[in-house]
Amino acid sequence: MFYIYKILKSLLFPPGIVILFLVWIFLEAEKRHIRLLSLILSILLYTLSTHWGYILLKPLSYSYHDFPEKCDAVVVFGAGISDESISRMLKGCEISRKLNCPVIPSGYKVESRFMKKVGMFMDCEVSMIDTSSRNTYENVLFVKKLMDKGKRNLVIVSSDYHIRRIKTLLRKSDLDVSVVGVGFEKYHDPILRWFPSYGAFYENMKYLNEIIGTLIFSLKI
């Protein structure tokens, strides 16, 4: 009964219902180009909404992370007011205690202030905050400013799927900075993972966003 309910729910709510609609267009449309377009869109949306997206996209967005032995500061990149920002701060505070260096949250306005409160709640040393970085590119520019001011041994903390894009930007900026990733092992039901869900779509879009961002900055001169 559990699986029947979950499968029906996945097909009657987006993105499942949208996939079914596209399949119906493919079966009913008379014009060849409309049938082809609906087929391509349905396959694409199904892939992004199921475990197939995870299988195809995750390896392309990930990269190895570093194991720093010393640091002047740990710069934690923000991810909005979210569990992800909290997990990044947890890792940042862990490294801070291990290497005896302060944490610097880097984000935009309320985002970095939120992470500062998380750090203070964990009794973590937060020396300053960056409230002006709106995206990864500006986060890295902030890191560069810190290095120009004499902080040579910096450690960046972000989500594990974010590391490849960060390393690409650091390489483009000729910056030698250690990057540590935070990740969670997610449970994928052996049956339900092959049915579309918004949760899978959301996760896969994060991977796709990182892949596109990495490609753009790789090609940018």
The CATH number that domain 73-182 falls under is: 3.40.50.620
Cα–Cα distance, 213 to 220 (Å, whole number):
11
Displacement of CA 130 from its chain's centroid (Å) = 20
Which strands, in side-by-side order, build the sheet including 73-77? 103-106, 73-77, 154-159, 178-182
Q: What is the mean pLDDT of each run of 10 residues along the chain (221 residues)?
A: 88 94 93 94 96 87 79 93 92 93 94 93 91 93 91 91 91 90 78 93 91 82 49
Percentage helix, strand, coil, to 5, in the chain? 60, 10, 30
CB 61 within 8 A of CB 164: yes
At position 45, the amino acid (one-letter code) is L
Closest among 182, 181, 166, 179 to 217, alpha carbons compared = 166
Residue 185, pLDDT score = 65
Q: Where are the domains of the chain?
A: 2-61+196-219, 73-182
Residue 220: predicted pLDDT: 64
Look at residue 94 in the predicted model and tell me its pLDDT.
Answer: 94
R_g of the chain computed on alpha carbons: 21
Calpha distance 147→130 (Å, rounded): 14
